């Protein structure tokens, strides 16, 4: 009998040495066979049987290992009880052709916590594209535009580009976005490097889905891309106090004169007027379709590279006066009388003595709704009589605030029509204000309005206004980035949604009708 050399065998022999004398003593003694003694003896007998089976199996495995040779290492030794699954999911080990067995594979499963994702914006996932580094050779005698990605600048500038952040001073362009410089090559018209633009093929109007949002027409997309990516052929000042300028874009007929009309133009405004872009997208989503296409654009010759809004120049607009910039002269008192007359509603021709203009009655309802959401006051309340203005507001700068004592004679401004379509208005100069608090909203803009367009009100009541604004504003890459990405855009949408709820409450409280206005 060999001495056990494993801890398990030592424990088994120790228990066996205690149980065997105990069982024998119980059965041989004359003590009464109580229930406790019977249970104890039965348990010892069962354990002895189990021990005997273990000893037999261990001796059998030891003999097989001795037959195969002593060269087998401990790492390849077979595990005990190979026919018993570990957890009911692993099958018994498969045997190979040489008689050896494979150990079961162990699979480790890592559970990941669910991560909350932001709302998916349809059509805003940019597909992967392979970068192409091929550069066309420049022909002599011609000019081409080459950026820093094609021809690097000096080593010092390259080192500066690696550092994150923004340049100091008034130049707000990122350090990595170095100015474009002029070199010889094809594809650029002569006339000075100030008006040249990067020759990148990727448009600043990004559409990654199969089609653009439904509220933007094909003409809207085409004009947006023209304003955002069109080559600039000239820059002309505009006789305006706002400091706006006209960008003459290439795209007219060959040989046409470089002026607005034969060539497409865009009205370039100040960076503070960036809300014009938001106003354009809101107008299209609400189904009003009264604003001109507007995008954001930046260039080195424009405000030191800062993004600026560019509005399409429409030559079909009716001539406007210099004082009110309107094609129709109206005062606040006359405007209130027109609202009562309901001019041209339901196809009725107004009487000559009614004082109606050629503008349809529904146009005033659309303009009031639009102006209230953005708090645009320069059309209906240029004197700032319906709210508390700031020192930097135009009415305070021009000293118009004291004229609120005679509101009936206050002139309306920016009331524009088209020459071929005098029934409908065109909303221009749509600078909105998102910092107006709830207790300082201008409700004078809604005065006299008894109907609102059903299509616009249904969008305001729905839960899709935020999603549509995100989808639409995402198209304009420069505007999206200038507002701080999605986080900044969400803050602007919060303001519009809150004002929409206030407007819906106003409609219900004052019994304003909601009518279809698709005449």
Q: Is the pLDDT of residue 278 over 90?
A: yes
Task: Work out the average pLDDT over 28-56.
Answer: 71
Average pLDDT of the segment spanning 86-95: 42
What percent of the chain has a predicted confidence (pLDDT) above 90? 45
CA pair distance 510, 519, nearest whole angstrom: 25
**Minimum mean pLDDT among 295-304, 338-347, 354-363: which range?**
295-304
Residue 18 reports pLDDT greater than 60: yes
Task: Tell whether the model's pLDDT for residue 30 goes beyond 80.
Answer: no
**What backbone phi and psi angles, to 5 degrees, belong to 435?**
-100, 10
Residue 292: domain span: 218-312
Task: Give domain status of residue 128, yes or no.
Answer: no
The lowest-confidence range among 39-53, 223-237, 442-456 is 39-53
Q: Cβ–Cβ contacts within 10 Å for residue 450, how many?
A: 14
Q: With b meaning 16 or more CB within 10 Å and e meaning fewer, what string describes 143-172?
A: bbbbebeeeeeeeeeeeebeeeeeeeeeee
Q: What is the CA radius of gyration of the chain?
A: 41
Classify residue 289: in a domain, yes or no.
Answer: yes
Q: Is residue 193 predicted with pLDDT exceeding 70? A: no
Residue 288 lies in a domain: yes
DSSP per-residue letters across 380-428: T-TT--SS---TTSHHHHTT-GGGGGGGGGPBP---EEETTEEEEEEB-
**Residue that wins the pLDDT comparison between 222 and 82:** 222
> Considering only 188-202, 384-398, 493-507, which range has the smallest mean pLDDT?
188-202
| Predicted confidence (pLDDT) at residue 4 exceeds the cutoff of 60 | no
pLDDT of residue 130: 53
Pick from 432, 433, 332: nearest CA to 385? 332
In 3-state terms, what secondary structure has residue 78? coil
Q: Which residue has the higher pLDDT, 71 or 47?
A: 47
pLDDT the model gives residue 55: 61
Q: CA 128 to CA 132: how far, in whole Å?
A: 13
pLDDT reported for residue 85: 41
As a whole number of angstroms, the distance between CA 182 and CA 192 comes to 9
Q: pLDDT value at position 339? A: 96
Is the pLDDT at 259 greater than 90? The verdict is: no
Query: Across residues 184-211, what is the average pLDDT?
Result: 58
Higher pLDDT, 95 or 123: 123
Cut 0.95: pTM above it: no
User: What pLDDT is stored for residue 373 in this prediction?
Assistant: 98
Q: How confident is the model at residue 111 (pLDDT cuts 50, 70, 90)?
A: very low
Q: Which residues contact 236 (CB under 8 A, 6 or more apart)?
A: 245, 246, 248, 259, 260
In angstroms, the Cα distances linking 200 to 189, 307, 447, 473 are 16, 18, 49, 21
What integer pLDDT is reported at residue 304 of this predicted model? 73
Q: Higher model confidence: residue 142 or residue 229?
A: 229
Mean pLDDT, to the nearest integer, of 181-210? 54
Is 266 inside a domain boundary? yes
Neighbour order of strands in the sheet with 265-268: 232-237, 245-249, 265-268, 308-312, 294-297
**126-135, 303-312, 465-474: least confidently modelled range:** 126-135
Per-residue confidence band for 288, with pLDDT thresholds at 50, 70 and 90: very high
Q: Judge whether 222 lies within some domain.
A: yes
Does residue 208 contact residue 123 with C-beta atoms inside 8 Å? yes
Q: Please report the pLDDT score of residue 51 as a whole number.
A: 73
Question: CA 441, 469, 498 angle in degrees (round to 5)?
Answer: 30
Mean pLDDT, the chain, whole residue set = 75
pLDDT tops 90 at residue 275 = yes
The pLDDT, as a whole number, for residue 481 is 96
* 102 vs 61: which has the higher pLDDT: 61
Q: Is residue 238 domain-resident?
A: yes
23 — pLDDT class (breaks 50, 70, 90): low
pLDDT above 70 covers a percentage of the chain that reads: 62
> pLDDT tens digits, residue range 409-462?
999 999 999 999 999 999 999 999 999 999 999 999 999 999 999 999 999 999
Q: How far apart are CA 237 and CA 245, in angstroms?
A: 5
Q: How far is residue 94's CA from residue 92's CA, in Å, rounded to a whole number? A: 6
pLDDT band at 387 (very low <50, low <70, confident <90, very high): very high
Number of domains comprising the chain: 1
Higher pLDDT, 514 or 398: 514
Q: Are 483 and 492 in contact (CB under 8 A)?
A: yes
What pLDDT was estimated at residue 75? 44
More confident call, 276 vs 13: 276
Top pLDDT among 439 and 99 is at 439
297 found inside a domain: yes
First to last CA, the chain: 110
- Model confidence at 113, pLDDT cuts 50, 70, 90, reads very low
Q: Quick one: CA torsion of 335, 336, 340, 346, rounded to 10 degrees?
A: 30
Residue-wise pLDDT for 128-174, tens only, equals: 555 544 433 333 333 333 333 323 333 333 333 333 332 233 332 33
Q: What average pLDDT does the segment 463-473 reach?
A: 96
């Amino acid at each position: 009998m060999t001495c056990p050399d494993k801890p398990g065998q030592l424990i088994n022999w120790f228990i066996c040495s205690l149980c065997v004398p105990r069982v024998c003593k119980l059965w041989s003694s004359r003590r009464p066979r109580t229930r406790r003694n019977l249970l104890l003896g039965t348990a010892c007998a069962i354990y002895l049987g189990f021990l005997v089976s273990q000893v037999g199996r261990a001796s059998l495995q030891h003999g097989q290992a001795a037959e195969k040779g002593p060269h087998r290492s401990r790492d390849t030794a077979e595990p005990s009880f190979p026919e018993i699954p570990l957890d009911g999911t692993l099958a018994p080990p498969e045997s190979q052709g040489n008689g050896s067995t494979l150990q079961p594979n162990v699979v480790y499963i890592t559970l990941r916590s669910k991560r909350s994702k932001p709302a998916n914006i349809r059509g805003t996932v940019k597909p992967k594209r392979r970068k192409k580094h091929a550069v066309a050779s420049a022909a002599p005698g011609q000019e081409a535009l080459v950026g820093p990605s094609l021809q690097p600048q000096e080593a010092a500038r390259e080192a500066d580009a690696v550092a994150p952040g923004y340049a100091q001073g008034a130049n707000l362009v990122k350090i990595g976005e170095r100015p474009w410089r002029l070199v010889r090559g094809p594809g650029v018209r002569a006339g000075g490097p100030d008006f040249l633009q990067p020759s990148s093929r990727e448009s600043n109007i990004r559409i990654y889905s199969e089609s653009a949002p439904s509220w933007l027409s094909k003409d809207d997309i085409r004009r947006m891309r023209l304003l955002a990516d069109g080559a600039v052929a000239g820059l002309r000042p505009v006789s305006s106090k706002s400091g706006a300028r006209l960008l003459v874009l290439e795209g007219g007929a060959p040989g046409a004169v470089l002026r607005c009309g034969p060539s497409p133009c865009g009205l370039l405004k100040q960076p503070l007027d960036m809300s014009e872009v938001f106003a354009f997208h809101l107008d299209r989503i609400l189904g009003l379709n009264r604003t001109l296409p507007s995008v954001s654009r930046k260039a080195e010759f424009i405000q030191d590279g800062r993004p600026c809004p560019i509005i399409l120049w429409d030559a079909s607009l009716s001539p406007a006066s210099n004082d009110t910039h309107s094609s129709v002269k109206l005062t606040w008192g006359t405007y209130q009388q027109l609202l009562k007359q309901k001019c041209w509603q339901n196809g009725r021709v107004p009487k000559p003595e009614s004082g109606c203009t050629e503008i349809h009655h529904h146009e005033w309802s659309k303009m009031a709704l639009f102006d209230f959401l953005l708090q645009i006051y320069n059309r209906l309340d240029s004197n700032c009589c319906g709210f508390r203005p700031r020192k930097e507001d135009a009415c305070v700068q021009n000293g118009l605030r004291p004229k609120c004592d005679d509101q009936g004679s206050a002139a309306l401004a920016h009331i524009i029509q088209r020459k071929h379509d005098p029934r409908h208005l065109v909303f221009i100069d749509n600078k909105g204000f998102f910092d107006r608090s709830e207790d300082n909203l201008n409700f004078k803009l809604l005065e006299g309005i008894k109907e609102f367009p059903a299509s616009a009100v249904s969008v305001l009541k729905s839960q899709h206004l935020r999603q549509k604004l995100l989808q639409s504003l995402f198209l304009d890459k420069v505007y999206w980035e200038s507002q701080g990405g999605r986080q900044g855009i969400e803050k602007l949408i919060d303001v519009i949604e809150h004002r929409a709820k206030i407007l819906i409450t106003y409609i219900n409280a004052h019994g304003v009708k909601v009518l279809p206005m698709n005449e």
